[in-house]
Amino acid sequence: MGNFILSIDQGTTSSRAMIFDGDAHVRAIAQQEFKQIYPQAGWVEHSAQDILGSVMAVVAEAVVRADITAEDIAAIGITNQRETTLVWDAKTGKPVCNAIVWQCRRTAEYCEKLKAHCGEFIYGKTGLIPDAYFSATKLKWILDNIPNARKRAEKGELLFGTVDTFLMWHLTKGAVFATDYTNAARTMLFNIYDLCWDDELLKLFDIPKKMLPKVQPSGSFFGYTHKSVLGAPVKICSAVGDQQSALFGHLCTKEGDLKNTYGTGCFLLMNTGDKPVKSKNGLVTTLGACVSGKPPYVLEGSVFVGGAVVQWLRDGLKIIENADDSETLAESVEDNGGVYLVPAFTGLGAPHWDGAARGTICGITRGTTKGHIVRSALESIAYQVADLVDAMERDAGIDITRLAVDGGASRNNFLLQFQSDILNCETVRPQTVETTALGAAYLAGLTAGLWKDLDELRATVRTGKVFAPDMKEEKRKQLLDGWAKALRQTQTR
């Protein structure tokens, strides 16, 4: 058996392939961006051909860079942007239209009505609060709007899948039509308690069951790639949604373990073991990754504007040249100088849920400098994550003592130190912040038997940096009060 794992990370703006060696360390990376398609305001699409083409290209490039062949690869793992919806011809694989991306708001109005009429019903089955993000209403839109789509779907001529399913179907030349629990759980069609496609939801959205893939544990044998892909067939041994992959990549496999990804937005996920926790604070309940058997439950909350506030400082306000400058500028001032920034650019997400809220900067005096503004922007990321952590602690009845982190903005040392201070808990950044690709690799390697168990994997982890809390309680309270006051100024209800 080969000694390497090929991990495919198909993200929202780029596709990445990474080769991990037997110690779970990175041997090679290849990455390719692809086009974002905005047909009208609020709509976002990807060309299915771009998704597939970029994946094939990065896979080939990574294999060449690692200087290995198909025989050296023990297994392939796949992680993907969640909820993005594809429908294709069951014979030819040709999509009937562009992929509708998770960010696309085309079904928002319909979802508002759904929320009002059957919000509780849907939440009770799926753990999700009805929203245009999830695949169900995107799939319904395709069946309702693409000529002949529903008729063909009913005859079994069309297939539905999230990106993992679409990739596996093509990598195996149509031999594998499957998905995993973590992706299925984000479609709003899957019952997370009975672990099956839900007939009542399929009826509600008018979706023929025959177009849905088989659902398996994230770490399990899916099938062999067609020999044309890598020159010889290779086992696909994992498929997992990106956020759950990152959770597994941090080895957050025990109840109470949690991680935060600081990307464009922030995604906080907590493993709640075999207990589905119903949130009273606007968090969603979903499924996590596992190797065979039953998946754990996960509590999830997201912040709309995380690292994106730094992009706004750079491209909107133009007060920094690049994202890394934000760290130096924030540290150039002693404290926030009483300035608080609330980046509610597109409303407030969990736990506040106020779509009409808009951002603010308050507490400005004659002495306020650009350092204070930049610092308040970075601090706002940490406050928003702290609000989510607080909601999770209350929902799960657990005191959090350690937060694992990853994502582009987790490079910022100031941000992570402030996060530790404001949460009064340790923040741990691994050496490899490519935790998403790592999670799919771990799952594939465990399934293929390259690694025996989680302990063997724990021994391979290289901790990058641990940030310990170092702030007086009085100061912490004063800052949190300042944030709460600023937040109130943005809220509309």
User: Are residues 385 and 425 in contact, defined by beta-carbon separation less than 8 angstroms?
Assistant: no
Give the residue carrying structure tokens 């290779």.
234
Stretch that binds ligand ADP, among 45-53, 113-121, 283-291, 402-410 (CB under 6 A): 402-410
Give the shortest CB-436-to-ligand ADP separation in angstroms. Answer: 8
Find the binder of ligand ADP among 56, 159, 185, 308 (CB under 6 A): 308
Full DSSP string of 156-222: T-EEEE-HHHHHHHHHTTTS--EEEHHHHTTTT-EETTTTEE-HHHHHHHT--GGGSPEEE-SEEEE
- From candidates 218, 225, 412, 417, binder to ligand ADP by CB under 6 A: 412
Q: Is 439 in the site for ligand ADP (CB under 6 A)?
A: no
Phi-psi region at 273: left, alpha or beta (left = phi > 0; alpha = psi -120 to 50): left
Exposure string over 7-44, b if 16+ CB within 10 A, otherwise e: bbbbbbeebbbbbbbeebebbbbbbbebeeeeeeeeeb
On the 0-12 / 13-18 / 19+ scale of CB atoms within 10 A, 134 is: buried
Q: Does residue number 337 form part of the binding site for ligand ADP (CB under 6 A)?
A: no
Q: What are phi and psi of 139, to 5 degrees?
A: -65, -45
Interacting span for ligand ADP (CB under 6 A) from 78-86, 172-180, 321-329, 482-490: 321-329
* 117 vs 406: CA distance, rounded Å: 38
Q: From residue 349 to residue 388, what is the string marking binding to ligand ADP with x (rule CB under 6 A)?
A: ----------------------------------------
Nearer to ligand ADP, 311 or 368 (CB): 311
103 in contact with ligand ADP (CB under 6 A): no
| Residue 208 φ then ψ, to 5° | -65, 130
Please, what is the minimum distance in Å from the beta carbon of residue 339 to ligand ADP? 18
Q: How far is CA 246 from CA 97, 163, 267, in A?
A: 30, 17, 10
Give the shortest CB-80-to-ligand ADP separation in angstroms: 12
Q: How far is the CB of 316 from ligand ADP (least distance, A)?
A: 12
Question: Smaller CB distance to ligand ADP: residue 332 or 401?
Answer: 332
Interface region with ligand ADP, contact rule CB under 6 A, candidates 55-63, 293-301, 307-315, 443-451: 307-315
CB of 221 to ligand ADP, least distance (A): 29
- Position of minimal CB gap to ligand ADP: 408
Burial of 70 (0-12, 13-18, 19+ CB in 10 A): middle
In the complex, the smallest distance separating the C-beta of residue 163 from ligand ADP, rounded to whole angstroms, is 14
Please identify which residue in 109, 144, 324, 481 interacts with ligand ADP, judged by CB under 6 A.
Answer: 324
Distance CA 493, CA 483 (A): 17
Nearest residue (CB) to ligand ADP, 57 versus 323: 323
CB of 12 or CB of 285, closer to ligand ADP? 12
Q: Which is nearer to ligand ADP, 172 or 326 (CB)?
A: 326
CB of 179 to ligand ADP, least distance (A): 22
Q: Rule CB under 6 A: say whether 343 interacts with ligand ADP.
A: no
302 near ligand ADP (CB under 6 A): no
Q: What is the DSSP letter of 446?
A: H
419 binds ligand ADP, rule: CB under 6 A: no
326 lies in the binding site for ligand ADP (CB under 6 A): yes
* Cβ atoms of residues 269 and 262 within 8 Å: no
Place of tokens 């923040």: 427
> Could you tell me whether strands 45-46 and 26-33 are parallel, antiparallel, or unpaired per DSSP bridges?
unpaired
Choose the stretch contacting ligand ADP; rule: CB under 6 A; options: 43-51, 180-188, 403-411, 463-471.
Answer: 403-411
98: Cα separation from own chain's centroid: 21
DSSP structure string for 372-429: HHHHHHHHHHHHHHHHHHHHHHHHHT----EEEEESGGGG-HHHHHHHHHHHTSEEEE
Q: CB of 311: closest distance to ligand ADP in angstroms?
A: 4
| CB 368, min distance to ligand ADP, A | 21
Q: By CB under 6 A, is residue 409 in contact with ligand ADP?
A: yes
Minimum distance from residue 306 beta carbon to ligand ADP (Å): 7
Q: Among residues 263, 301, 343, 430, which is the contact residue for ligand ADP, using CB under 6 A?
A: 263
Sequence-distant (≥ 6) Cβ neighbours of residue 90 within 8 angstroms:
156, 157, 158, 159, 174
Q: How far is the CB of 58 from ligand ADP (least distance, A)?
A: 16
244 makes contact with ligand ADP (CB under 6 A): no
**Looking at 3, 47, 311, 368, which residue binds ligand ADP (CB under 6 A)?**
311
Which residues, other chains included, contact 428 with Cβ-Cβ below 8 Å and sequence gap of 6+?
Answer: 402, 403, 404, 405, 463, 465, 466, 467
CA distance 95 to 87: 6
**Which residue in the set 1, 13, 173, 278 belongs to the binding site for ligand ADP (CB under 6 A)?**
13
Buried b or exposed e, range 420-458, using 16+ CB within 10 angstroms: bbbbebebbbbebbbbbbbbbbbbbbbbbebbeeeeebe
Binding span for ligand ADP by CB under 6 A among 42-50, 226-234, 295-303, 323-331? 323-331
Q: How far is the CB of 323 from ligand ADP (least distance, A)?
A: 3
408 binds ligand ADP (CB under 6 A): yes
| Residues of this chain that bind ligand ADP (CB under 6 A) | 11, 13, 263-264, 307-308, 310-311, 323-324, 326-327, 407-409, 411-412
